């Protein structure tokens, strides 16, 4: 079994897609006005060659069942992105991201992490492994 994507539900697909295109320096692939995907070069969790962040409109929720998902209501998940230089990402994002939760900080498990929120409040962790153990753990995804 492979984790294929993470999907965010939003009331404003265009705005959220624009945020992620700018933050990830990637271009979205639009299927409809209600659905787009942004593919990143690697999916560390899946062992695949790419990871996908899908963004869907609240209008799509009815296809899964009424009330199956609520936009801007995530308080449990953190979407994580492995980056080459988290301090450089901080310099780039801090100029325009409205909520920086934690400036680059080295965590006890060996990653240097930057936490920000997207426009809907979803927590994002941009991180760079810095300890020998963390570097070894993520070597295949770099």
pLDDT (tens digit per residue) in 50-66: 789 999 999 998 888 88
CATH code at position 41: 3.30.720.120
Residues 78 and 141 in one domain: yes
Number of domain units in the chain: 2
pTM for the whole structure: 0.89
Residues 101 and 79 in one domain: yes
Residues 105 and 45 in one domain: no
Residues 111 and 53 in one domain: no
Is residue 10 helix, strand or coil?
Answer: strand
Tell me if 67 is assigned to some domain.
Answer: no
For residue 142, what pLDDT band results from cuts at 50, 70 and 90?
low
String of DSSP letters for the chain: ----EEEEEES-HHHHHHHHHHHHT---EEEETTEEEEEES-BTTTTBS-EEEEEEEGGGGGGT-TTS--TT---S-EEEEE-S-HHHHHHHHTTT-SEEEEEEEE-TTSEEEEEEE-TT--EEEEEEE-SHHHHHHTGGG-
Residues 51 and 80 in one domain: no
The parent domain of residue 115 ranges over: 74-142
Percentage of the chain beyond pLDDT 90 is 73
Residues 58 and 112 in one domain: no
CATH code at position 98: 3.10.180.10
Residues 57 and 108 in one domain: no
């Amino acid at each position: 079994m492979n984790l294929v994507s993470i999907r965010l539900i939003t009331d404003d697909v265009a705005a959220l897609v624009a945020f992620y295109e700018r933050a990830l320096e990637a271009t979205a692939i639009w299927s409809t006005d209600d659905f787009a995907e942004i593919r990143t070069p690697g999916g560390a969790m899946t062992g695949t060659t790419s990871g996908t962040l899908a963004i869907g409109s609240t209008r799509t929720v009815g296809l899964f069942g009424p009330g199956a998902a609520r936009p801007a209501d995530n308080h449990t998940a953190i979407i994580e992105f492995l980056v080459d230089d988290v301090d450089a990402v901080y310099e780039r994002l801090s100029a325009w991201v409205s909520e920086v939760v934690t400036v680059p900080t080295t965590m006890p498990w060996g990653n240097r992490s930057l936490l920000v929120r997207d426009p809907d409040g979803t927590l994002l962790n941009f991180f760079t492994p810095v300890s020998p153990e963390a570097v070894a753990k993520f070597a295949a995804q770099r």
